[in-house]
Amino acid sequence: MKVFKFGGASVKDAEAVRNVGRIIARFSGEKLLVVISAMGKSTNKLEDLVDAFWKNDEAKKRNIIADLKDFHYKIANDLISDQKHHIYSNLEDLFMELECLVEKRYPNAAYDEIYDGVICYGELLSTKIVSDYLSSVDTKNKWVDARNFIQTDSNFREGRVKWSETEDTIKRILKPYIDRNMVISQGFIGRDEHNNTTTLGREGSDYTAAIFAYCLEANDVTIWKDVAGVMNADPKKFDKAVKLDAINYNQAIELAYYGASVIHPKTIQPLKSKNIQLYVNSFINIDDKGTVVNNDAPALSNECYIVKDQQTLLSISTKNYSFIAEDNLSRIFEHFAKHKVRINVMQNSAISFSACCDTKETKIDELCAALSSEYSVEQESNCTLLTIYNAKNEIEMPAQFSEQTALLKQVLGAATQVVLKAKA
């Protein structure tokens, strides 16, 4: 059994969907589960819709829904011209649900709960289109709602998988279907025990593929990307970037942890625990060998560069000059956990604690306000976090960063991390 995952870029327009069809057709004899994300950038659009809903901005809501319809119907029209085809009533049903959902008010629901209820439509629309298209070109498949299988707790926007329930339903109910038919399902979305939609965190579709593969005891997972495989650096930023042919699970986990964006950080663990190989292949050059992630790959010999832009460095110091030790640290961490602000790298000295976070973390300002009752807090935005993994003896700053000031530097095992800021 195989699990495939196609991300937003691989289904961004009709031609891309046809290409997915061609890839899938090559595997017609295999038992196959295909996980698909929302088309193109539609998840971002849905985020704007949640925002407009929250702010009661009726005009903006209507505009966004019109854009979403336009985008999805254009792709559907290009794929299936017969306006009586059931793809159109399927799309109508989903859009009607979505419109009704953002019509009502939910006085007891928090933002994150509404977010998940709305955001899942990107994946629902996308998989309906792909599934109906495949059927129309005689590629037999069954559309399945992933929320019936991926069971999570109620931690909206970052649902934690309930593994035993999930594994049990997938094995008992889903597996027999895949034995008979190719199954198409959504990445990223799940459901809690109260029947609410949850999501696994942005870019979580890779993780969904890994969850399904784990529960189905699949032979392998293939993530189809618009790049050649996993590279040692982002080719858009480093002209000497090379593809890595093979990576072992442990190093892949570390690379994903430090922010190599090709693989979602939670994806590798479930695969490693059942020794399921992961292929990262190009959907553009289908025949090219991409990257394989498994147990046997030798340790990397390449130096890897991971760049995270849009970072904010927080410097938190005690007002009374008390040391940053266990008691202060535990209170500081409590604030971070409560505001769900994730730390990418941290360091502490005698009376100050520094943490580098993604600027887009929505609750940074609230976090700083909460911290400042007890601490002095400084925010430095527009920073870049550079991680050099597997560095050779002497770290050489890549040329494009040599003009920047290093605000923080840390060496931890195989990784050297530097928070950089352009000189004013």
Asked whether position 205 contacts ligand ASP by CB under 6 A, the answer is yes
Q: Is residue 98 within a helix (H) or strand (E), and if so which, with residue range?
A: helix 86-101
| Closest CB to ligand ASP among residues 207, 214 | 207
| Closest CB to Mg ion among residues 76, 223 | 223
Asked whether position 37 contacts ligand ASP by CB under 6 A, the answer is yes
- Candidates 47-55, 146-154, 200-208, 338-346; binding stretch for ligand ASP (CB under 6 A): 200-208
229 binds, among Mg ion, ligand ASP, none (CB under 5 to 8 A by kind): none
Contact status, residue 389 vs residue 304, Cβ threshold 8 Å: yes
CA dist., res. 6 & res. 71, Å (int): 19
Tokens of 224: 């189809």
> Per-residue contact track with ligand ASP, 170 to 199, x per CB under 6 A?
-----------------xx-----------
Binding site for Mg ion (CB under 5 A): 7-8, 37
Q: How far is the CB of 71 from ligand ASP (least distance, A)?
A: 14
Q: How far is the CB of 43 from Mg ion (least distance, A)?
A: 7
Asked whether position 157 contacts ligand ASP by CB under 6 A, the answer is no
User: Please, what sign has the CA dihedral across residues 205, 209, 212, 215?
Assistant: negative
- Candidates 36-44, 158-166, 221-229, 411-419; binding stretch for ligand ASP (CB under 6 A): 36-44
The residues, any chain, with a CB within 8 Å of residue 35's CB and separated by 6 or more, are 3, 4, 5, 6, 146, 185, 186, 187, 205, 208, 209, 212
| Closest CB to Mg ion among residues 38, 388 | 38
Closest to 213 in 3D by CA, of 369, 367, 4: 4
| Residue closest to Mg ion, measured at CB | 8
Q: How far is the CB of 142 from ligand ASP (least distance, A)?
A: 21
> Per-residue contact track with ligand ASP, 104 to 143, x per CB under 6 A?
------------------x---------------------
Q: How far is the CB of 94 from ligand ASP (least distance, A)?
A: 15
188 binds, among ligand ASP, Mg ion, none (CB under 5 to 8 A by kind): ligand ASP
Contact status, residue 225 vs residue 275, Cβ threshold 8 Å: no
For 19, 190, 197, 329, the CA distances from 112, given in Å and listed in that order, are: 35, 14, 11, 28
User: What is the greatest pairwise CA distance in the chain?
Assistant: 73
Q: What is the dihedral of CA 343, 345, 347, 351, to 10 degrees?
A: -30
Q: How many CB atoms within 10 Å of residue 356?
A: 25
Among 159, 190, 204, 270, binds ligand ASP (CB under 6 A): 204
Asked whether position 8 contacts ligand ASP by CB under 6 A, the answer is yes
Closest to 383 in 3D by CA, of 365, 407, 362, 399: 407
DSSP bridge pairs for 419 = 385, 408
117 binds, among ligand ASP, Mg ion, none (CB under 5 to 8 A by kind): none
157 binds, among Mg ion, ligand ASP, none (CB under 5 to 8 A by kind): none
| Residue closest to ligand ASP, measured at CB | 205
Closest to 278 in 3D by CA, of 193, 219, 199: 219
Asked whether position 4 contacts ligand ASP by CB under 6 A, the answer is no
Q: How far is the CB of 190 from ligand ASP (least distance, A)?
A: 12
User: DSSP characters for 43-95?
Assistant: HHHHHHHHHHHHTT-HHHHHHHHHHHHHHHHHHHHHH---TTSHHHHHHHHHH
Q: Is 269 helix (H, G, I), strand (E, B) or coil?
A: helix
Asked whether position 202 contacts ligand ASP by CB under 6 A, the answer is yes
Asked whether position 38 contacts ligand ASP by CB under 6 A, the answer is yes
Q: Which residues of the shown chain bind ligand ASP in the complex (CB under 6 A)?
A: 7-8, 37-38, 43, 122, 187-188, 202-205
